[in-house]
Chain A
Amino acid sequence: MKFNRLFLFALLATLTLALSACGAPPATNWPGMSTDGDLIYLSSNSHVYIVQVQNGTESTANISGKITPLRFPIEADPGKMSFYAPPALAEDGLMVVGSAAAGGHALYAADSATGNVRWTFDNTKPWLGGALILEDAIFAPSGDGTLYAFNMSGSKLWEKNLSTHALWTTPVSDGNYIYLATLDHKMYCLDPNSGNIVWSKDLDNGMIGSPAIVDGVLYVGTLDGNLYSIDASNGNTNWVKSLEGSIWGTPGFGEGSLYIGTVFGRAGKFYALDAATGEVKWFRDEEGSIVAGPLVTNEQVVYVTELGRIQSLDISGAPKWQDNFEKNKIFTTPLLVQDTIVVAPMGSQFLMVAYDLNGAKKWTFTPAK
């Protein structure tokens, strides 16, 4: 009987541990990155880190007479604050980012120079999509399927429920309208002043990546591997191209070409297409799946894979340079800041790694404790 009692306790303890380890909220996601041209803002779980592009060190602030790394929040509160969305940045130093923590689903507007909160907006669901700042308004997609619009002081301008599922993508704009892709197959064009739907289009499959918008044309990929070119003015399809695998990232654009990777089982494929016609110019097989959208610069296109590879190609598809984080996954689109390419691997001792345009490593970033 003693055995039975011990067994019972052991069973319950193991069950608790096993269930706790296998998916209990809060669920995590890949980090989000954005830049104001000088600083890199990295949403990585407990903090948004603010890092200088020149040397990869954290900005600092004088808080109560003590020089402290400038982060948001200054002191971690993981039960209430977890960040994965790319922070939205305004010219006056306002930074907007929502929390996806189990115990706190607030949208925060903070002063990026001090880390102080200017205002918050509480919600019942996590924020995984990044906000868009357009002129004097903030447009934030929420886990409750609603797009919220605020002025810069945090007063709600309007809200529009767009989905029964959470909104995961960051809205984009051409300066006139807002465009939002949803997991429940719909692409929306909204009036930023009223939130009214200008047009919507059913693409027959979910979208995880935001659309790219170039010269009045939206480019967006779906989970069944269809890449769409859509007229942003009316939602009409210019062309659609079926690729192998599913599309998760935002397509990159450069010199008339579109670049996008796919998740093809555990492997991936990287495509270059003619943006005008959708014809495939070339493609390249990868051992690891390609979840993130690529970074396109003047002379190269850089993509990252789930197996931790960072691959640079020239516009003809020929390899330029590469690096590998074999034990780490990379799901975040690389960021170009001045002449530095920044990558955010997951599970690495480094939260960010920076390269020059020739692939030479410039710095790594590990937060100070």
Chain B
Amino acid sequence: MWDLLIVNPFTNILLLIYAFVGNFGVSIILFTILIRIATHPIMAKQIKSGAAMQELMASEEWKKIQEKYKNDKEKLAQEQMRIYQERGINPFGSCLPTLIQFPILIGFYQSIVRAISATPMQMIDLVRGIYPWLENITAKASLSALIPINSQFLWMDLGQPERVIIPGLAFGIPVLAIIVGLTTFVQTKLTMTPSASPNDQTAMMNQQMSIMMPLMLFYFSLNFASGLAVYFIASNLVGILQYAALGKVNWNNLLVFGSNKTAAPAKKSGK
């Protein structure tokens, strides 16, 4: 079922884009943009939910109940739920969209690995999963034209973890993984929501996120097929653009490091 609903459609879209552009790296980038566009409403909702939650946590009413019921967790939870209902906030509103994007990421990675097919055994699923009608759209999407996929993109083999070998060095340098780490760091910093107090849990979590996420994606890029790293980089850059378009990019955050404080987003001009 997972294959039928997620991996096969993703693989076929990737292959169709590849058939038109003839470059698998560019196909990954274009498909990433497509996914970002398709999930834009979800992301916008997530940002809105996050902002509402943030506003709530900065409110006097919220602070009062935190103080008043600090020794009665059950009552505190009841009061929090009451406030959520009164203000029409879904406390899971910022989590659910992430959950929805989660299978997309997994499915996308599986489809990259399948399309590249590092072994004959992996290729069985690829050949089986190609929609026969794909070649009706363009002859370049026939089995004969598609296989083998050229997995070379710039200096890398998209089916293998990337390393740049420098003569004289005993180890390869993971350039792509470093770029993934950097772009993830920049994206996380730029898109952090402002906190009311530098010591509150949101600020601390933001701080953890800005360190943990880049390290995490760096680790993935270091060990997994470099096609995934291309996806991460494209996704980070498009994500920054999306946030910028929504006026939610905090450019000043790039200059703030080592503090729990996050800057307020720049106001959109004309508003």
B101, chain A: closest CB distance, angstroms: 10
Q: Which residues of A contact B102 (CB under 8 A)?
A: 11, 14-15
Interface of B is mostly: helix
Most chain A CB neighbours (cut-off 10 Å) among B106, B120, B123, B150? B120
Whether A164 and B225, one on each chain, are in contact in the complex, defined by CB atoms closer than 8 angstroms, is: no
Cβ of B113 within 8 Å of any chain A Cβ, yes or no, is yes
A14, chain B: closest CB distance, angstroms: 8
Whether A19 and B220, one on each chain, are in contact in the complex, defined by CB atoms closer than 8 angstroms, is: yes
Cβ of B216 within 8 Å of any chain A Cβ, yes or no, is yes
Whether A223 and B147, one on each chain, are in contact in the complex, defined by CB atoms closer than 8 angstroms, is: yes
Whether B110 and A206, one on each chain, are in contact in the complex, defined by CB atoms closer than 8 angstroms, is: no
Cβ of A368 within 8 Å of any chain B Cβ, yes or no, is no
Cβ of B209 within 8 Å of any chain A Cβ, yes or no, is yes
Whether A16 and B124, one on each chain, are in contact in the complex, defined by CB atoms closer than 8 angstroms, is: no
Cβ of A248 within 8 Å of any chain B Cβ, yes or no, is yes
Interface CB pairs A-B, < 8 A, 19: A1-B205, A8-B209, A15-B216, A22-B106, A23-B114, A24-B223, A24-B225, A25-B223, A25-B224, A27-B121, A27-B122, A102-B161, A126-B118, A128-B119, A183-B148, A185-B144, A206-B148, A248-B124, A263-B124
Q: A185-B144, A204-B144, A266-B128 are in contact. List 20 more A-B contacts (CB 8 A).
A: A1-B205, A5-B208, A8-B209, A12-B212, A15-B102, A15-B105, A16-B219, A23-B225, A28-B119, A29-B120, A84-B119, A102-B161, A125-B157, A125-B160, A164-B148, A168-B119, A168-B120, A248-B120, A289-B124, A331-B121
Checking B127, B147, B148, B161 against A25 with a beta-carbon cut-off of 8 angstroms, the contacting residue is B161
Checking B148, B209, B216 against A184 with a beta-carbon cut-off of 8 angstroms, the contacting residue is B148
- In the complex, A2→B95 CA distance in Å? 13
Q: A19-B109, A224-B143, A291-B124 are in contact. Are A27 and B119 (CB under 8 A)?
A: yes
B50, chain A: closest CB distance, angstroms: 10
Cβ of B152 within 8 Å of any chain A Cβ, yes or no, is yes
Whether A205 and B205, one on each chain, are in contact in the complex, defined by CB atoms closer than 8 angstroms, is: no
- In the complex, A24→B118 CA distance in Å? 10
- In the complex, A289→B127 CA distance in Å? 12
Within 8 A of B (CB), among A221-240: 223-224
Q: Which residues of A contact B39 (CB under 8 A)?
A: none
Whether A4 and B205, one on each chain, are in contact in the complex, defined by CB atoms closer than 8 angstroms, is: yes
Whether B120 and A208, one on each chain, are in contact in the complex, defined by CB atoms closer than 8 angstroms, is: yes
Q: A12-B212, A206-B148 are in contact. Are A263 and B128 (CB under 8 A)?
A: yes
Cβ of A7 within 8 Å of any chain B Cβ, yes or no, is yes
Q: Which residues of B contact A5 (CB under 8 A)?
A: 201, 205, 208
Q: Which residues of B contact A46 (CB under 8 A)?
A: none
Cβ of A37 within 8 Å of any chain B Cβ, yes or no, is no
Checking B120, B151, B216, B219 against A128 with a beta-carbon cut-off of 8 angstroms, the contacting residue is B120
Within 8 A of B (CB), among A20-57: 22-25, 27-30
A198, chain B: closest CB distance, angstroms: 24
A248, chain B: closest CB distance, angstroms: 7
Within 8 A of A (CB), among B114-160: 114, 118-124, 127-128, 143-144, 147-148, 150-152, 157, 159-160
> Chain B 194-228, CB within 8 Å of chain A: the 1/0 string?
00000001100100110010001001100111001
- In the complex, A22→B224 CA distance in Å? 10
Interface of A is mostly: loop
B177, chain A: closest CB distance, angstroms: 14
Most chain A CB neighbours (cut-off 10 Å) among B113, B118, B212, B228? B118
Whether A22 and B127, one on each chain, are in contact in the complex, defined by CB atoms closer than 8 angstroms, is: no
B114, chain A: closest CB distance, angstroms: 7
Checking B119, B202, B216, B228 against A16 with a beta-carbon cut-off of 8 angstroms, the contacting residue is B216
Binding site for B on A (CB under 8 A): 1-2, 4-5, 7-8, 11-12, 14-16, 18-19, 22-25, 27-30, 84, 100, 102, 125-126, 128, 164-166, 168, 183-185, 204-206, 208, 223-224, 246, 248, 263, 265-266, 289, 291, 331
Within 8 A of A (CB), among B27-54: none
A266, chain B: closest CB distance, angstroms: 7
- In the complex, A257→B119 CA distance in Å? 30
Whether A30 and B121, one on each chain, are in contact in the complex, defined by CB atoms closer than 8 angstroms, is: yes
Q: Which residues of B contact A4 (CB under 8 A)?
A: 94-95, 205
B219, chain A: closest CB distance, angstroms: 8
Q: A22-B106, A165-B148, A184-B148 are in contact. Are A263 and B121 (CB under 8 A)?
A: no
CB-based nearest B residue for A126: B118
- In the complex, A223→B147 CA distance in Å? 9
Whether A224 and B144, one on each chain, are in contact in the complex, defined by CB atoms closer than 8 angstroms, is: yes
CB-based nearest B residue for A184: B148
CB-based nearest A residue for B213: A12
- In the complex, A184→B148 CA distance in Å? 6
Enumerate the 6 nearest inter-chain pairs by beta-carbon distance, A residue then B residue, closest first.
Answer: A23-B113, A1-B201, A27-B118, A165-B148, A29-B119, A183-B148
